[in-house]
Amino acid sequence: AAPVTYQSENATISQGVVESNHAGFTGTGFVNFDNVTGSYVEYTVNAAQAGTHSLTFRYANGTTANRPVNVTINGNPGVSNLAFPGTGAWTSWQSVTTNVTLAAGDNVIRTTATTANGGPNADSLTVDSTTGNPPPTG
Ligand code: GCU
């Protein structure tokens, strides 16, 4: 299946706000995590098949400090302290990709800030089933 992009402004947000004051975002805005440990953005994504999927987070971090988040999948540990390094400006958007295992059907992917700085400004999450599921051979 083709990659699907989920906008952060449509996600479930705990301790964060949707804003649009830094240009370059996609959709109608981005999520500004509150600057606290534990603030999170939670996406519900659909996987046609169980297995490895790539998650690509589009983000901005106008500071020079990493803004790591823990990525959990359906409440289970996924990726710890996924790094979101500085992008040079709040208007400079970059991507971070990681691979996780998803179940078939809906999956809840939560990204939770692990430092008192909170997470980066979160624009979107793109889920690609192709990367981990190459076409069968033979
Ligand atoms: C600034 C910036 C916000 C950002 C915040 C932060 O206030 O304008 O978009 O979220 O810094 O440090 O998290």
Atom of ligand 1 nearest to the CA of 32: 10
Does 59 reside within a domain?
A: yes
For 95-116, what is the mean pLDDT? Answer: 98
Ligand 1 centroid distance, CA of 85 (Å): 14
Range(s) of the domain holding residue 124: 4-128
Does 96 reside within a domain?
A: yes
Do 33 and 39 contact (CB within 8 A), yes or no?
yes
* Dist. CA 131–CA 125, nearest whole Å: 15
| Per-residue pLDDT band at 129 (split at 50, 70, 90) | confident
For 90-101, what is the mean pLDDT? Answer: 98
Whether pLDDT at 94 is above 70: yes
Out of 22, 34, 87, 121, give the residue to mutate to test ligand 1, the one with the largest number of ligand atoms within 8 Å of its CB.
121
| ipTM metric | 0.98
Predicted model pTM: 0.94
| Per-residue pLDDT band at 32 (split at 50, 70, 90) | very high
DSSP state letter for 137? P
Residue nearest (by alpha carbon) to ligand 1 atom 6:
35
> Which pLDDT does position 134 carry in this prediction?
56
Task: Report in angstroms the alpha-carbon separations of 11 from 8, 31, 64, 120.
Answer: 5, 9, 26, 15
Does 10 reside within a domain?
A: yes
Is 32 touching ligand 1 by the criterion CB < 6 Å?
yes
Ligand 1 centroid distance, CA of 32 (Å): 7
| Per-residue pLDDT band at 107 (split at 50, 70, 90) | very high
pLDDT digits (tens, 9 = 90+) for 49-93: 999 999 999 999 999 999 999 999 999 999 999 999 999 999 999
Is 90 touching ligand 1 by the criterion CB < 6 Å?
yes
Say which CATH number the domain at 114 has. 2.60.120.260
Considering the chain, what percentage of its residues have pLDDT values greater than 90? Answer: 91
Is 7 touching ligand 1 by the criterion CB < 6 Å?
no
| Counted domains in the chain | 1
